[in-house]
């Protein structure tokens, strides 16, 4: 895909990208797709998927208590537990505000580790990475931000998100459906969004503006971006997903470059 070559114009030392069709085939790739990059918050979708595997295995229930008082596994996944961004303090009652929380995902990891009696990094490996053949990916440390992966591996994950085989498709559909609709909140890097819609571990585009995806991205687009200059989105209307990893921290350059890139990719996909 010619549009993927746009990453060569970005002010980053290294970038790699791939587009994956809904049937799992690679529509195109560019750059060192086998190079490992820190994922930052793109770690969260991997952790969320592991949590959903734990749910389907019967190790946890989505509505069982987890995190602060009154919060559940579902609240932690949807950033509605009330926990602060990076502090172990409660800033709101569960279900009343969308507070993007790294601590919430760390408590989620601890909860699943206790329920399964498997350290969470190992559980992610067994539940998600190994079955998908993601041999160059690891989630060591925080399940909110300490993952490392390659474009090749994340392309396998993007294929799974579109045509699930580790999870029941109905579970994945639930994960991409808004939890606690209508809640406002801050989208990191983009300010307050009303509403700030999320599913279970995945941000849902809906009508957010400004946004890190493109102006032509469908409202059903879901995914995540990371402060290490990384993102993955799935656009069901386009029947495709895109993975981009870089080695420059997110900033104004990304706010400018990413939507233009996504629109070019979608335009090429639509022929």
**pLDDT tens, 11-47?**
999 999 999 999 999 999 999 999 999 999 999 999 9
pLDDT at residue 68, rounded to an integer: 97
Mean pLDDT over residues 198-217, rounded?
96
Mean pLDDT of 225-238: 98
Under a CB-based contact definition with an 8 Å cutoff, are residues 159 and 121 in contact?
A: no
Q: How confident is the model at residue 71 (pLDDT cuts 50, 70, 90)?
A: very high
> What backbone phi and psi angles, to 5 degrees, belong to 16?
-145, 150
Separation between Cα atoms, residue 129 and residue 138, nearest integer Å: 8
Tell me the pLDDT of the chain averaged across its residues: 97
Instruction: Check residue 260 and give its pLDDT.
Output: 98
Q: Which three-class secondary structure state does DSSP give residue 259? A: helix
Confidence of residue 271 (pLDDT cuts 50, 70, 90): confident
Q: How confident is the model at residue 252 (pLDDT cuts 50, 70, 90)?
A: very high
Cis peptide before 152 (omega within 30 of 0): no
* pLDDT value of position 175: 95
* Under 8 Å between Cβ of 51 and 72: no
State how far the Cα of 202 lies from the Cα of 186, in Å rounded to an integer.
Answer: 15
- Under CATH, to which class is 2-269 assigned? alpha beta
**Cβ atoms < 10 Å from Cβ of 119:** 13
Backbone torsion region of residue 157, taken as left when φ is above 0, otherwise alpha when ψ lies between -120 and 50, otherwise beta: alpha
Predicted confidence (pLDDT) per residue in 106-128, tens digit: 999 999 999 999 999 999 999 99
pLDDT tens column, 162-179:
999 999 999 999 999 999
């Amino acid at each position: 895909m010619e549009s993927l070559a746009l990453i060569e114009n970005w002010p980053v030392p290294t970038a790699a990208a791939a587009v994956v069709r809904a049937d799992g085939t690679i529509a195109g790739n560019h750059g060192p797709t086998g190079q490992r990059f820190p994922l930052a918050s793109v770690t969260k979708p991997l952790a969320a998927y592991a949590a959903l595997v734990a749910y389907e295995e019967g190790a946890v229930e989505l509505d069982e208590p987890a995190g602060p008082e009154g919060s559940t596994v579902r609240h932690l996944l949807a950033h509605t537990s009330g926990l602060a961004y990076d502090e172990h303090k409660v800033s709101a009652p569960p279900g009343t505000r969308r507070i993007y929380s790294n601590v919430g995902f760390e408590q989620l990891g601890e909860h699943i580790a206790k329920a399964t009696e498997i350290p969470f990094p190992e559980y992610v490996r067994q539940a998600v990475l190994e079955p998908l053949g993601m041999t160059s990916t690891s989630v060591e440390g925080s399940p909110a931000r300490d993952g490392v992966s390659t474009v090749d591996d994340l392309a396998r994950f993007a294929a799974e998100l579109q045509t699930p085989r580790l999870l029941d498709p109905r579970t994945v559909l639930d994960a991409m459906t808004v939890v606690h609709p209508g809640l406002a909140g801050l989208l990191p890097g983009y300010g307050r969004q009303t509403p700030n819609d999320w599913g279970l571990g995945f941000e849902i585009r809906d009508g957010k503006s400004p946004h890190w995806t493109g102006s032509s991205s469908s409202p059903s687009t879901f995914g995540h971006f990371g402060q290490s200059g990384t993102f993955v989105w799935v656009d069901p209307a386009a029947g495709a997903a895109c993975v981009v990893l870089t080695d420059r921290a997110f900033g104004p350059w990304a706010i400018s470059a990413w939507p233009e890139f996504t629109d070019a990719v979608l335009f090429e996909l639509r022929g």
